[in-house]
Every structure is written in structure tokens, then in C-alpha cells.
């Protein structure tokens, strides 16, 4: 049913209003899903490129990464190369739909694994020649990186898990 308000607008009432609101709600939800998918895709690509770049840096300039290693860990150079490989693979995996979820969880595990090295760097900033506040300020970013990987773990249009 269609009514005209005092302002001259067409106002729907009864079943017609419910149909219009339902349709508008679905259209709005589809648009929101489309925008969310686009944002997730961009976030996924940014994280993937960042991880591949950082992984490559482990091979091009391993010295800084070796200095960051806590002394209680063995095989410093080998672990630097290994973490570089996993960063590259994790970044690539984010771009492959079938590998995306496993890659994201692998990156989350990697962020947890390298956290002690980041704490070690903050505690020994004077030995590294880096301002201590920078190294302490970067520690809270580890959970943000984990959340970022968790956010982009799903394939486009996958709203489960």
C-alpha cells in the first residue's frame, strides 16, 4: 500500500513496506560485503608483499637479523634464513586461495616465534645502535600483525571460520 505524506513524499505501509525494507536491507548488505571483500583483498596483498619483502631482507642483509637473535638460541644465521623462507612462503601463500588459511596461521605462529628476538632487541638496544624507544614501540605491533593475518585468512566470499 502506498500513502502520500504531508510533505508530499511517497510512504509505503503494510506488506509493501516490509518488502521494500527487506530488499533494501539485502542490497545494502551486499554492498557492505562487496566493500569488505575489497578491503580484505587489499589488506591481504599489503601483508603478503610486506612479508615477502621482509623475508627477502633476511637473505640480502642477514647481519641485522643475526644481531637481533637472543644468545640462548643456536644457529643464528640458519634461523634467520629459515624465518626468511617462512616469511616469503607465508606471504606467497596468502595470495593462493587453497593455501591462504594455512599460510595465515603459519604467519601467526611465526609472529609468536620471533617475539622473543624483538624483546631481546628492545632490552639490548644500545648494542644494536637503535634508539630504545623505537624497539619498545614496535613490540605492540606483533599482536596487530597477528590480527592482520587472522583477518585475511579467509578466501573471498568465505564468511565461515
What pLDDT shows up at residue 89?
98
The Cα 7–Cα 9 span in angstroms is: 6
* pLDDT value for 127: 84
Q: Which residue from 153, 160, 161, 68 is spatially nearest to 117, judged by alpha carbons? A: 68
- Domain-wise residue ranges, the chain: 41-151
Q: Which three cell numbers stand for residue 94?
A: 596468502
- Per-residue pLDDT tens digits for 82-111: 999 999 999 999 999 999 999 999 999 999
Q: What is the DSSP letter of 61?
A: -
pLDDT digits (tens, 9 = 90+) for 41-55: 999 999 999 999 999
Q: Is the pLDDT of residue 20 over 90?
A: no
With CA atoms as reference, report the closest residue to 144 among 124, 115, 101, 117.
115
Amino acid at each position: 500500500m502506498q500513502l502520500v505524506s504531508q510533505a508530499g513524499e511517497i510512504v509505503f505501509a503494510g506488506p509493501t513496506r516490509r518488502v521494500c525494507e527487506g530488499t533494501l536491507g539485502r542490497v545494502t548488505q551486499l554492498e557492505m560485503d562487496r566493500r569488505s571483500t575489497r578491503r580484505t583483498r587489499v589488506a591481504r596483498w599489503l601483508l603478503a608483499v610486506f612479508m615477502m619483502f621482509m623475508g627477502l631482507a633476511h637473505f640480502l642483509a642477514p647481519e641485522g637479523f643475526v644481531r637481533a637473535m637472543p644468545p640462548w638460541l643456536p644457529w643464528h644465521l640458519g634461523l634467520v634464513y629459515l624465518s626468511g623462507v617462512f616469511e616469503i612462503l607465508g606471504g606467497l601463500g596468502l595470495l593462493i586461495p587453497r593455501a591462504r588459511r594455512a599460510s595465515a596461521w603459519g604467519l601467526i605462529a611465526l609472529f609468536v616465534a620471533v617475539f622473543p628476538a624483538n624483546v631481546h632487541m628492545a632490552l639490548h638496544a644500545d648494542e644494536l645502535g637503535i634508539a630504545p624507544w623505537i624497539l619498545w614501540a614496535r613490540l605492540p605491533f606483533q599482536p596487530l600483525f597477528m590480527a592482520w593475518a587472522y583477518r585475511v585468512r579467509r578466501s573471498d566470499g568465505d564468511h565461515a571460520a
